Amino acid sequence: MRGADYVIKRTAFALVTVFVAVTLNFALFRLAPGSAVTDLSRVPHATPELRQALKKQFGLDKSKGAQYVIYLKQLVHGNLGVSFANEQPVSTNLRVALINTLPMVLLGTLFAIIIGTLTGVIAAWRRGTPTEALTVTSALGFYSMPTHWLGLMLIIIFAGTLPTGGMTNEFLINPSFWTHFRDLAAHITLPSLTLGLVLYGEYTLIVRSAMLETLGEDYILTARAKGLKPWTIVRRHALRNAMLPVATLVALSLGYIVAGAILIETVFSWPGIGRAVYDAVLQRDYPMLQGAFLLLTISVVFFNLVADLLYFKLDPRITE
């Protein structure tokens, strides 16, 4: 029964966190000195009437409390406001951007998980050999690189052979499905590779640590004493237990990866959620920025919940 208790507790915490994030989101944009909306009603050469009209239009003539209630009500209805830049509903803009971001992020994460697990396991198994030194050094190296800089390096290396910006070639007119797919695949390679390389370093180090810890356990010694082949020990006995923390860490990092994609999408002009944030900053498109921030926060909270529940599923000993 404690399990159900745990699930309810974590879910409640996530919901409260979302509420806190929503409030923070409101406060950041409305209460901060010189915030967006106050600036808006201070149009240069604006007549007092225009100023009043603007204030009324954006609901600024009401008290902060009333504004907060209105904000919450609109949010429940899924209304995130209208973008200053293209006058589309923010929610529509965000949906389009999110759909563009997800394949890129998932591909990169998949790459990182596969390569990272592989090198991490090798590093732990070959402890104290040059192989380990090489793996750990390269992982630390990629882990230390600023994300956007790594992207720029890839552009320098691959410029000419792979497309370095955008999602599709806009000069293709009515491409066949296959051409379109190949075009997309070419465009997605560099951004995904950048994300993959940055994450790979981190995953390698985590998997290695988890593996080292597991390899020190008594049941591994038993397995060895039974005369099992090294690979069988790794696969059947060590890796499964080592993947326990790794699985939660991956789930945990997913939320932040979406946020971290801001830099990559800026470098590669990928029209996703990160690029939307960047453009919103440049154009001072506050409703858009507010909506994107809310979406990113909620995704982090959501994946945190997933991580918690996943951990509980994989290791029921945890009940806090």
Partner 1 sequence: MSSVLIEAPTAPVLTRRGAVLRMLRRNPAALIGSTILLVIAFCAVFAPLIAPYGLHTQVGPVFGRPSWKHPVGLDDGGIDMVTLLMWGARVSLIVGFAATFVSMAIGGTVGVLAGYFGGKVDTILMRITDYFLVIPDVPLMIVVAAIWGPSLFHIVIVIGILLWTGTARVIRAQVKSVRERVYVKRARALGAGHLRIVVRHVLPQVAPLLIANTVLTVAVAIFDETALSFLGLGDPSRTSLGKVIENAFERAAISSGAWWAIVPPGALVALIILGCSLVGGSMEDALNPRLRVAHLSARTFRLRPLVGRGDAL
Residue 140 in the binding site for partner 1 (CB under 8 A): yes
Q: Which is nearer to partner 1, 100 or 266 (CB)?
A: 266
Asked whether the beta carbons of 194 and 267 are under 8 A apart, the reply is yes
Pick from 3, 59, 141, 230 the residue near partner 1 by CB under 8 A: 141
Residue 209 in the binding site for partner 1 (CB under 8 A): yes
Residue 3 in the binding site for partner 1 (CB under 8 A): no
Q: How far is the CB of 72 from partner 1 (least distance, A)?
A: 18
How far, in Å, CA of 145 to CA of 201, rounded? Answer: 10
Asked whether the beta carbons of 92 and 80 are under 8 A apart, the reply is no
Local structure of 1: helix, strand or coil? coil
Residue 239 in the binding site for partner 1 (CB under 8 A): no
Residue 8 corresponds to which tokens in the numbers above? 């309810």
Q: Which is nearer to partner 1, 184 or 244 (CB)?
A: 244
How far, in Å, CA of 115 to CA of 185, rounded? Answer: 20
Window 28-87: residues binding partner 1 (CB under 8 A): 28-29, 32, 34-36
Q: How far is the CB of 297 from partner 1 (least distance, A)?
A: 6
Residue 259 in the binding site for partner 1 (CB under 8 A): yes
Q: Which is nearer to partner 1, 28 or 228 (CB)?
A: 28
Q: How far is the CB of 173 from partner 1 (least distance, A)?
A: 26
Q: How far is the CB of 87 from partner 1 (least distance, A)?
A: 20
Q: How far is the CB of 34 from partner 1 (least distance, A)?
A: 8
At residue 159, φ and ψ (nearest 5 deg) are: -55, 130
Local structure of 159: helix, strand or coil? strand
Local structure of 115: helix, strand or coil? helix
Closest CA relative to residue 122, chosen from 269, 142, 114: 114
Pick from 262, 271, 272, 287 the residue near partner 1 by CB under 8 A: 262
Residue 252 in the binding site for partner 1 (CB under 8 A): yes
Q: How would DSSP label each residue in 298-312?
A: HHHHHHHHHHHHHHH
Q: What does the per-residue mask of binding to partner 1 show for 173-202, with x meaning CB under 8 A? A: -----------------------------x
Q: How far is the CB of 217 from partner 1 (least distance, A)?
A: 9
Asked whether the beta carbons of 301 and 255 are under 8 A apart, the reply is yes
Secondary-structure breakdown of the chain: helix, strand, coil percentages, each rounded to the nearest 5: 75, 0, 20
Residue 17 in the binding site for partner 1 (CB under 8 A): yes
Non-local CB neighbours of 5 within 8 Å, separated by 6+ positions? 319
Residue with tokens 């994609």: 261
- Outline where 173-285 has alpha helix (H): 177-215, 218-225, 230-232, 239-267, 273-282
Q: Which stretch binds partner 1 (CB under 8 A): 51-59, 66-74, 227-235, 299-307?
A: 299-307
Residue 102 in the binding site for partner 1 (CB under 8 A): no
How far, in Å, CA of 17 to CA of 12, rounded? Answer: 8
| Site residues, partner 1 (CB under 8 A) | 13, 17, 20-21, 24, 28-29, 32, 34-36, 140-141, 143-150, 152-153, 155-156, 159, 202, 205-206, 209-210, 213, 245, 249, 252-253, 255-257, 259-260, 262-263, 266, 277-278, 281-282, 284, 289-290, 292-293, 296-297, 300-301, 304, 311, 315, 317-318, 320
